[in-house]
């Protein structure tokens, strides 16, 4: 998506590549999420885009923050929230980092294993802990399954044992997978969580919080269901499985909050062919997989790419980045078409790039600077 503010900014033709984010769109996304899941506490996943302007605006709007490292915790604190509005949601933490977070006032921690629970018990006494459960990731363009979470039998044992380890067993979390296109994907995990709540209660452990993660999509090349459709499906699942005893709910949006708010301005460096017989053009940009477009891996996330040259004939292209690495090809199979008169120096807009771009951009591969952000 592009806005007048973004179009005016792009017209000033700064050196590329850079990301420009319209903060009004982020604020609008926050309100849409709030309207769709009014009962939920919003914990913005900092890794999606940690620009200070975004964090402080979300803090002002009332957001809390999901963080994965002490550095991210410090970014959230700097944005103006206190430790009680920060969740340390990474299930893989060093003990010293847990202690540092605890020292900064953070009291909400994720875990998915016995060893992590032991670290929390030693370094964050009295903290509220929640157990992440496995999900299938089916229907997500960028799944987060396998690596995170444990099965519900294990979660049950860990949560029950937490009570005797000096921490407070607070609840259950899951993530259905990022860019989840199926609004009903929360159903199975909510059912499993409700089972865990009942099992723990039977064992004398009262859980209070259900963290339904992120996964809400942003619009790339294809249309997506509205945020309200997701809210209604989730509300129905909660009512179905928790009845009139729905616990405190937390959501952790990343992509939904910032994805469509950003546009990357990039310049064409080279247009070429591999042989006289090969009709397909290779278009090399000044940004690639290592400059921020990592989610083009396996062509999973397909950003809308727009040329200012309108009206003329378009033809299929392969899109590649500028580095000396043959993995730095964004789209080869996906059907991308660009004007036949495209030439070096032309600019392209890579749209819906507000999420998971700057954080993925490398520090100096081939001496290329990290992706710059302008928040307007």
β-strands 40-45, 140-142: how paired? unpaired
Among 29, 56, 135, 178, binds ligand PLP (CB under 6 A): 178
Binding residues for ligand PLP, total number by CB under 6 A: 16
Judged by CB under 6 A, the stretch of 25-33, 40-48, 121-129, 193-201 that binds ligand PLP is 40-48
| Residue 110 vs 330, nearer CB to ligand PLP | 110
Among 72, 75, 86, 89, binds ligand PLP (CB under 6 A): 89
Q: How far is the CB of 15 from ligand PLP (least distance, A)?
A: 29
Q: How far is the CB of 230 from ligand PLP (least distance, A)?
A: 11
Give the CA angle between residues 294, 145, 188 to the nearest 5°.
135
Q: How far is the CB of 340 from ligand PLP (least distance, A)?
A: 36
> What 3-state class would DSSP assign to 108?
strand
Judged by CB under 6 A, does residue 149 bind ligand PLP? no
Give the CA angle between residues 22, 321, 344 to the nearest 5°.
85
Among 252, 295, 328, 349, binds ligand PLP (CB under 6 A): 252
Residue 275, class by beta-carbon neighbours within 10 Å (0-12 exposed, 13-18 middle, 19+ buried)? exposed
> What stretches of 62-212 show up as alpha helix (H) in DSSP?
70-78, 95-103, 114-123, 152-162, 186-202
Among 253, 288, 304, 354, binds ligand PLP (CB under 6 A): 253
Q: For residues 202 and 240, what is the distance between their CA atoms, to the nearest angstrom?
A: 20
Q: How far is the CB of 33 from ligand PLP (least distance, A)?
A: 10
Q: How far is the CB of 310 from ligand PLP (least distance, A)?
A: 32
Judged by CB under 6 A, does residue 48 bind ligand PLP? yes
Residue nearest to ligand PLP (CB): 214
Residues classed as catalytic: 324
Judged by CB under 6 A, does residue 128 bind ligand PLP? no
| Residue 206 vs 229, nearer CB to ligand PLP | 229
Q: How far is the CB of 215 from ligand PLP (least distance, A)?
A: 5
- Of the candidates 30, 22, 28, 18, the residue with the CA atom closest to the CA atom of residue 2: 22
Among 254, 262, 321, 322, binds ligand PLP (CB under 6 A): 254
Rounded to 5 degrees, φ, ψ at 238 are -65, -45
Q: For residues 369 and 206, what is the distance between their CA atoms, to the nearest angstrom?
A: 50
Distance of CA 200 to the CA centre of its chain: 30
Give the burial string for 245-272 (b: 16+ CB within 10 Å, else e): eebebbbbbbbbbbbbbbbbbbbbbebe
Q: How far is the CB of 374 from ligand PLP (least distance, A)?
A: 22
Judged by CB under 6 A, does residue 291 bind ligand PLP? no
Task: Please report the beta strands in 6-115, taking only residues with DSSP state E, as ranges in sequence order.
Answer: 18-21, 40-45, 64-67, 86-88, 108-111
Distance of CA 191 to the CA centre of its chain: 24
Judged by CB under 6 A, the stretch of 152-160, 235-243, 253-261, 315-323 that binds ligand PLP is 253-261
Number of neighbouring beta carbons within 10 Å of residue 103: 12
Task: Please report the beta strands in the chain, taking only residues with DSSP state E, as ranges in sequence order.
Answer: 18-21, 40-45, 64-67, 86-88, 108-111, 128-132, 140-142, 168-173, 178-180, 209-211, 248-251, 262-272, 281-285, 305-307, 314-320, 329-339, 347-351, 372-375
Q: Which of residues 190-249 bind ligand PLP (CB under 6 A)?
A: 213-216
Judged by CB under 6 A, the stretch of 42-50, 220-228, 318-326, 360-368 that binds ligand PLP is 42-50
| Residue 66 vs 286, nearer CB to ligand PLP | 66
Among 10, 25, 45, 129, binds ligand PLP (CB under 6 A): 45
Binding site for ligand PLP (CB under 6 A): 45, 47-48, 66, 89, 175, 178, 213-216, 252-256
């Amino acid at each position: 998506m592009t806005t007048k503010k973004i179009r005016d900014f792009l017209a000033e033709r700064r050196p590329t590549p850079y990301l420009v984010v319209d903060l009004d769109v982020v604020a609008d996304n926050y309100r849409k999420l709030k309207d769709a899941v009014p009962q939920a506490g919003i914990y913005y996943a900092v890794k999606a885009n940690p620009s200070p302007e975004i964090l402080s605006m979300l803090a002002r709007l009332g957001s809390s923050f999901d963080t994965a490292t002490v550095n991210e915790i410090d970014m959230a604190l700097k944005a103006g929230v206190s430790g009680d509005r920060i969740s340390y949601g990474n299930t893989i933490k060093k003990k010293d980092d847990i202690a540092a977070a605890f020292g900064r006032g953070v009291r909400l921690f994720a875990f998915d294993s016995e060893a992590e629970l032991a670290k929390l018990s030693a370094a964050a006494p009295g903290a509220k802990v929640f157990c992440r459960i496995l999900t299938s990731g089916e229907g997500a363009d960028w799944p987060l399954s396998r690596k995170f979470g444990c099965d519900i039998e294990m979660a049950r044992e860990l949560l029950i044992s937490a009570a005797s380890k000096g921490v407070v067993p607070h609840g259950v979390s899951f993530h259905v997978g990022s860019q989840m296109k199926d609004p009903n994907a929360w159903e199975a995990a909510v059912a499993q969580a409700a089972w865990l709540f009942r099992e723990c209660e039977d064992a004398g452990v009262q859980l209070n919080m259900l963290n339904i993660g992120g996964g809400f999509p942003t619009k790339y090349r294809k249309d997506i269901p509205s945020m309200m459709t997701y809210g209604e499906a989730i509300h129905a699942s909660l009512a179905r499985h928790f009845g009139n005893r729905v616990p405190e709910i937390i959501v952790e949006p990343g992509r939904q909050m910032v994805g469509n708010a950003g546009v990357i301005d990039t310049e064409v460096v080279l247009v070429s062919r591999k042989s006289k017989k090969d009709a397909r053009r290779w278009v090399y940009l000044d940004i690639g997989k290592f400059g921020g477009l990592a989610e083009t891996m396996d062509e999973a996330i397909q950003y809308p790419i727009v040329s200012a040259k309108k009206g003329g004939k378009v033809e299929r292209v392969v899109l590649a980045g500028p580095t000396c690495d043959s993995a730095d090809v964004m789209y080869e199979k996906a059907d991308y078409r660009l004007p036949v008169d495209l030439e070096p120096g032309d600019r392209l807009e890579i749209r819906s790039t507000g999420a998971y771009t700057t954080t993925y951009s490398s520090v100096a591969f081939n001496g290329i600077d990290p992706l710059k952000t302008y928040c307007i």
